[in-house]
Structure 1
């Protein structure tokens, strides 16, 4: 089946050099496979967004932007209700961004630039000042770290069962040595496999799985103490330290954040 553009996309004039669209998405929202005539940045407030590409699955918490170049087929899934900003990027500015779909790490300045557009509910750029702001945003994004995913997946026969078990039970505190016995391998071999297959250590991988669960539970209103216990931490402070290291600020601040779309 041919991958189609959305009718709303085809009705738009080209970004000048950006076009922003704002939407409040409901939980369990699914978008079937489609593509866009321009590169697209996806920015969410709280929550988690999943994008499925032909050979890639992007999972992004709210401190990342998802970048998908023009004409790349993808589908999307929103796990929980969230405020969403779609940013179409002109072909000229898109040349500054990666050639492949990826995650881009946000910064306070990037967040402020997007928030200003959102507070003004700006779609197309209205004047030279807006265009300058758009160019600054993309320039800053071009300088950010990119990653193929927040939580890489693997079909490796040793790594895959461990990932599945940790995703099903994020409180599982077994050591790498214990997992090595479980999958009939050695600790050294598993450590090498995690680095070669996922680009991170076993501990880093487990923390990312845990933080994705934490983001969902924070959205549901669970207390930080309950989340810490459900993730296998003996004290909330240990959980908070892990969360801050990966997300950049505390779980409570994450919960209290409000999208510009919901501010009075």
Structure 2
């Protein structure tokens, strides 16, 4: 079920437990080019799912954790795990469903390295005239090529009330340069108290957490075709070189990899 709200489409899918419905093959996949901003309300699949994009950047959220999905970074979601999703207009969204008969990659959500070879064998599964013997070999190859990414673009959004003003400010404006010490003064607490709260609720201190928030926002802008100079400024860096260095430290690659011309 879906409903349009202006230029945005909201889709409602059922919440199904693992194995509630089986699929006729080990792996089924499909794609869709989205004509409007699209969000998926919380749902879960009876199968394991692999999400990636042929074009653009989208997000999937499980609990307080949000992963960025791109043509290079996919996301494995185990069967039965509730999640929501969002993708802007123009995203070429791809998804593969894995029968519970297959070997599960992981029992938790994990970022996947989407390599050219993995894309090639996934596309081969979409061939209508693929012989059954070839399909079985190809499905086995897909499973062998699924590997967790060395770095991901996951952000955990803390729900602690003391951190809420900081979270909301940085989500509204990733270029907000307010330091932790300045936030502590505004909120009437010590910077040590805020640091402990961030580590407890995000597994990161404030600055590494803020870097992840900015990187997610940057990838979305780059996927829309924004210029690197503009992106670096809009996410709070004094120069493109500083932005590139911070992005590389976090992701192990450069922002240009995520740029859509």
TM-score class normalised by the smaller sequence: 0.7 to 0.9
**Cross-structure match for 2:28:** 19
Richer in helix (by share) = 1
Counterparts in 2 of 1:75 and 1:236: CA distance versus 1, 3 Å: closer
Structure 1 residues without counterparts, runs of 5 or longer: 258-264
1:155 aligns with 2:159: yes
Q: Which whole-Å CA distance do the structure 1 matches of 2:89 and 2:50 have between them?
A: 19
Name the structure 1 match of 2:239: 235
TM-fit CA distance, 1:237 = 0.5
Name the CA shift for 1:189/1:35 in 2 (closer, same or farther; >3 Å). Answer: closer
Determine helix, strand or coil for the equivalent of 2:136.
Answer: helix
Please say if 1:173 is aligned against 2:183: no
Structure 1 residue 198 displacement after superposition:
0.2
TM-superposed CA distance for 1:213, in Å, is 1.8
Per the alignment, residue 193 of structure 1 pairs with 197
Gaps of 5+ in 2: 1-11
Cα RMSD after superposing both structures:
3.3
Alpha-carbon distance in structure 1 between the residues aligned to 2:127 and 2:43 = 21
1:65 and 2:70 aligned:
no
Contact 1:113 1:137 in 2 (8 A): no
Trace 1:188-227 onto structure 2 (pairs within 5 A).
Answer: 188-227=192-231
Q: TM-score, normalised by structure 2?
A: 0.77
Are 2:14 and 1:3 aligned? yes
Q: Secondary structure at the match of 2:176?
A: coil
The answer for the alignment partner of 2:140 in structure 1 is 135
Which structure has more RCO (C-alpha within 8 Å, separation ≥ 6)? Answer: 1
Question: How far apart are residue 74 of structure 1 and its match?
Answer: 4.2
Deviation, structure 1 residue 115: 1.5
1:97 paired with 2:105, answer: yes
Provide the secondary structure at the position in 2 that maps to 1:185: coil
Cα offsets for 1:105-142 (capped at 9, x unmatched)? 42xxx422332035546268745555344334434536
Partner of 1:246: 250
Report the secondary structure of 1:179's partner residue. helix
- Relative distance call for 1:19 and 1:255 in structure 2 (3 A) is same
**C-alpha distance in 2, partners of 1:146/1:214?**
16
Query: CA separation in 2, counterparts of 1:132 and 1:256?
Result: 33
Q: What is the Cα deviation at residue 69 of structure 1?
A: 2.7
Counterparts of 2:15 and 2:204, CA distance in 1: 36
How many residues get paired?
Answer: 245
- TM-score, structure 1 normalization: 0.77
